Structure 1
């Protein structure tokens, strides 16, 4: 078999794998959204340099926690989980500098504290309204003076 046929077979295999990966991402997104409550949510992993360290993802409310899934992962498990009782809203701001390119279009950066540690996430205005409502609608017995 000539070398060009081997090269053509390898290229065809890579295209098939890329197609299967894309189809798998679509099915995973449908699987995660089957019970509703999902939205586009970016998470800042590193804050050591301004505007850098953002990862695109999907957020999902699950009872008393907010789950975050990486957008290009095939894992059905969340990469991060934040409990409602440890999450405090601190404010919001518009993306600045390279953040405008790194984040989804129209998202705002939300500053929070999780267990006393700073946390930055980004979401749309509509999702922010839902997030604030979810934070305020804690179960009975919640210590409202803490907020």
Structure 2
């Protein structure tokens, strides 16, 4: 009987995690986006534009708060290219960005070092448009 209760609990938690993933992926204003970790692998999640920041939330996890906040102010794209076969998801583009750490949000953790994002071509177009739509003063202190 106890094993059945434990199994029911595990199934319920897994169902909630799956529902959380669907809710994150289907939420308005979010894009499916992967972030390269320190070991060179990709972590799946969603990104959401909130004011002058891009909030990244991983698919695996319990929280709905962003794990990383990427400030648009001082963010520059170093390179972009389509991912090769075996390098990541097929049809995705990788964007390497560098950020000015002084423009970071004081309330959320900020990613250290160069930032590598992988996203679909449509999401990349939106990301680049979001970067370019920054107010003119946003890039005065970068560099």
- How high is the TM-score relative to the length of structure 2? 0.75
Structure 2 residue 93 is matched with structure 1 residue 108: yes
Aligned pair partner of 2:57 in 65, 69, 93:
69
* Change in CA separation of 1:126 and 1:8 when aligned onto 2, cut-off 3 Å: same
Calculate the TM-score normalised by the size of structure 1.
0.73
Q: Say if 1:25 and 1:73, in contact at 8 Å, map to a contact too.
A: no
Return 5+ residue gaps in structure 1 as ranges.
Answer: none
Residue 92 of structure 1, aligned match among 58, 66, 80? 80
Number of residues paired by the alignment? 132
- CA–CA distance in 1 between the matches of 2:19 and 2:141? 47
**CA offset at residue 39 of structure 1?**
0.2
Mark the runs of 5 or more structure 2 residues left unpaired by the alignment. Answer: 102-112
Alpha-carbon distance in 1 for matches of 2:24, 2:128: 27
1:57 to 27, 38, 45: 45
- Higher helix residue share: 1
Give the superposed CA RMSD.
2.7
Matched residue, 1:20: 16
1:38 partnered with 2:18:
no
Cα distance, 1:17–1:93 mapped onto 2, change above 3 Å: same
Counterparts of 2:61 and 2:9, CA distance in 1: 21
Query: In the TM superposition, what is the alpha-carbon distance from 1:12 to its structure 2 partner?
Result: 3.8
Partner of 1:138: 134
CA distance in 2, matches of 1:146, 1:24: 37
Aligned equivalents of 1:76 and 1:19: distance in 2?
A: 16
